[in-house]
Amino acid sequence: MGVVEYREDEVLPEMRPHFPLALVLFLSLVGGSVAIDGQPAGHLDERLFYLYTAGISNLFEVPIQDFLLSFGTKLAGAGDALIGQSRSEGYGTLQNGLEVRHPLGFRVRGVVPDVGVSFVHYCFFPSAKFSLPGRSPLEVSHQFEFGVSVGSHSGGD
């Protein structure tokens, strides 16, 4: 049995990442107060609140001939709470997405426009609850998003 030698770029050159895997940590905190018709709502401790979100996401892009495939994942937590009260609401989400982009074949002011199609799956844990006036809350545990976009991509070239 012999040893097979090869260079990485000769085996599957199109499968090398367009740019390295991007990994992002994020944290966001926003505060505010509740007002109805411009007037403060309730007592001071009932109207001051904060919203938060934190998590980690990644993006991996692979060029294959004229196509650009993007794979991404995000794990996040989000919620809200009234300042001065121990009650808060929150949920977690796992998002997985895929996008495929292809150039349209012409230039506009030096930019090559492209078209993309995408699919994203959102999994909420526990189920996210949305208030609806006059109705019981809407519970969402899974959400699917399909998209089409026209634009341009400035990759790692």
pLDDT digits (tens, 9 = 90+) for 46-89: 557 778 888 898 988 888 999 999 999 999 988 877 766 666 67
Residue 13 domain-assigned (yes or no): no
Do 118 and 147 meet the contact criterion of CB atoms below 8 Å apart? Answer: yes
Tell me what pLDDT residue 96 has: 96
Computed from CA positions of residues 137, 141, 144, 150, in that sequence, does the dihedral angle turn out positive or negative? Answer: positive
**Which residues constitute the domain of residue 58?**
22-151
pLDDT tens per residue, range 79-135: 877 766 666 678 899 999 999 999 998 888 888 899 999 999 999 988 877 776 778
Looking at residue 15, what is its pLDDT? Answer: 42
> CA 132, CA 130: separation in Å to the nearest integer?
6
Domain assignment present for residue 3? The answer is no
Q: Are 119 and 110 in contact (CB under 8 A)?
A: no
**Residue 9 within any structural domain of the chain:** no
- Residue 113 maps to a domain: yes
Q: Is residue 12 part of a domain?
A: no
The model's pTM is: 0.64
DSSP string, 83-117: TT-S-EEEEEEEEEEEEEEEE-S--BTTB--EEEE
Q: Would 14 be classed as within a structural domain?
A: no
Is 1 domain-assigned? Answer: no
Would you say residue 107 lies in a domain?
yes
For Cα atoms 101, 103, 111, give the angle at the middle one, nearest 5 degrees. 115
Task: Say how many domains are in the chain.
Answer: 1
pLDDT at 25: 74
